Structure 1
Amino acid sequence: MTLPSHLSKTSILHSFLLFIAILFAPSFTLAAPSSSLRGNKTDRLALLAIKAQITDDPLGLMSSWNDSVHFCNWKCVICGQLHQKVITLNLSYHELVGSLSPHIGNLTFLRGTSLEKTYLQGELPPELGCLLRLKYLNFSNNSFLGELWPISLATLALLYFG
């Protein structure tokens, strides 16, 4: 079996590791029924600020990021069932261009994020260091500058810049 050109064994391994890291996190669900979703203004605004920093979205990922759908149902966003807060943001392989918004630091329940093989650049927001629940970061194949301190040892164990 051959992999599509945009996938590699390494990328599949990274996605698997993200899945495992989040699988063992408490209060995790893959999806919640839309009827039970309650608003969370902070997370929604943080995601919209992240979207605003994207200058090119050739695959149309961000088209689902709008007010007609609850943010927990946006593509590449996974929320926890208990609090309806973002716990995973996986934007990998979507060819996004732009920078990473410091508002990512407002996703206080974020446990994992992967931006592998997007085309983001610029300073890493220091606000990432404030995400105390963060267990997995994958920023490989981007052009970020800066440091991520302080960062928890649990996050450091799964940090990947490639």
Structure 2
Amino acid sequence: MANWLVFLILLYCPCFIVATNAEGQALLELKAGLNESIDLLGTWDPNLVEPCTSWSHITCSGGHVIAVHLESMGFSGTLSPHIGELTYLNILGLEDNHISGSLPPELGNMTNLQNLNLSNNDFTGDIPSSLGRLSYLQYLVLKKNNNLTGEIPSSITKISTLIEVDLSFNDLTGQIPEALFQRPKYTFSGNKLNCGSNLQHPCASTLNSNSGGSKSIVGILIGSIGGTVVVLTCFIFLLWKCWWLRYRKEVFVDVSGEDDRKISFGQLKRFSWRELQLATDDFSEKNVQR
């Protein structure tokens, strides 16, 4: 009886299935929009819409999809607006493909997104102002081979967590919001924007080059280690010097063979030969006690 009840629920309430597997449905819509020459996403089975069980190129946590990695897989097609239904997503990596069309405004619905990398594709159109709702976003990378147009939306400046903004080599125009120049790493080169050598701000921050950043980090590490070694060496030398000054005493033995009768003097006074002569009456024998 119980089995029949479950069967009737599944038969007459298909909405229950869709609601339970909303993330799986969104991923299937994403796959449908991407043209692929071979079945690179064969594990994305529409008959088993449970992505966290066996689907490839995704990462799950707590039963939710938190990362999608489809980098350098030769995809073309377009980016489905259903991507915005992955509200638990932290990382979306679609770089180095041939995806075209516009960036869907629904990207702004992924409010847990921290890393958005759509570089080296064929996207066109404006950057959606809805990206300003991504309050946890740290990396926004839309560079290289894309052909994004229009102005940079000022809403992006509301994202206080941004570490890197790379919009280089598009066809963007107009003013760059002032706040974006305050980010640790930014690149706006290869556009028609208000930056460059003749303007107030450069088009790229000094942290733009990864190799340069690596060299700087190595230099800082070497300098820190070297400084620590010097400080430790000086400290050890000072400890030894204090110990040596404290315990250094000259030992005199008045009778040979009686080494245990030692007299230690912490300080000795020097006398000149003339002073000794006067004190002993020119070394007179009458001063010698017998």
| Cα deviation 1:80-99 (Å, max 9, x = unaligned) | 1x2x1111011001111111
Matches within 5 A, 1:83-162: 84-145=63-124, 146-150=126-130, 151=132, 152-155=134-137, 157-162=138-143
Aligned partner of 1:74 in structure 2 is: 55
| Cα deviation 1:37-86 (Å, max 9, x = unaligned) | xx94110110111111122243x321111135731221111111x2x111
Retained in 2: the 8 A contact 1:112–1:137? yes
Q: Which moved more, 1:60-69 or 1:44-53?
A: 60-69
Figure out how many residues of one structure are paired with residues of the other and give that number: 120
- Name the amino acid aligned to 1:105: G
Aligned partner of 1:21 in structure 2 is: none
Retained in 2: the 8 A contact 1:40–1:85? no
SS in 2 for 1:119: coil
The structure-2 alpha-carbon separation of the partners of 1:70 and 1:130, relative to structure 1 and needing over 3 Å to count, comes to closer
The structure-2 alpha-carbon separation of the partners of 1:43 and 1:96, relative to structure 1 and needing over 3 Å to count, comes to same
The separation in 1 between residues aligned to 2:37 and 2:20, in whole angstroms, is 25
The separation in 2 between residues aligned to 1:62 and 1:44, in whole angstroms, is 13
Aligned partner of 1:15 in structure 2 is: none
- Which is helix-richer, 1 or 2? 2
Deviation at 1:154, TM superposition (A): 3.4
The separation in 2 between residues aligned to 1:68 and 1:45, in whole angstroms, is 10
Q: Which has the higher contact order (CA 8 A, sep 6+)?
A: 1
- Name the amino acid aligned to 1:85: H
The separation in 1 between residues aligned to 2:37 and 2:69, in whole angstroms, is 15
- Name the amino acid aligned to 1:161: L
- Name the amino acid aligned to 1:159: L
TM-score (norm 2): 0.39
Retained in 2: the 8 A contact 1:109–1:133? yes
The separation in 2 between residues aligned to 1:45 and 1:68, in whole angstroms, is 10
The structure-2 alpha-carbon separation of the partners of 1:75 and 1:141, relative to structure 1 and needing over 3 Å to count, comes to same
Gaps of 5+ in 1: 1-38
TM-score (norm 1): 0.68
The structure-2 alpha-carbon separation of the partners of 1:57 and 1:107, relative to structure 1 and needing over 3 Å to count, comes to farther
- Name the amino acid aligned to 1:143: D
For the pair shown, which has the larger CA radius of gyration, 1 or 2? 2
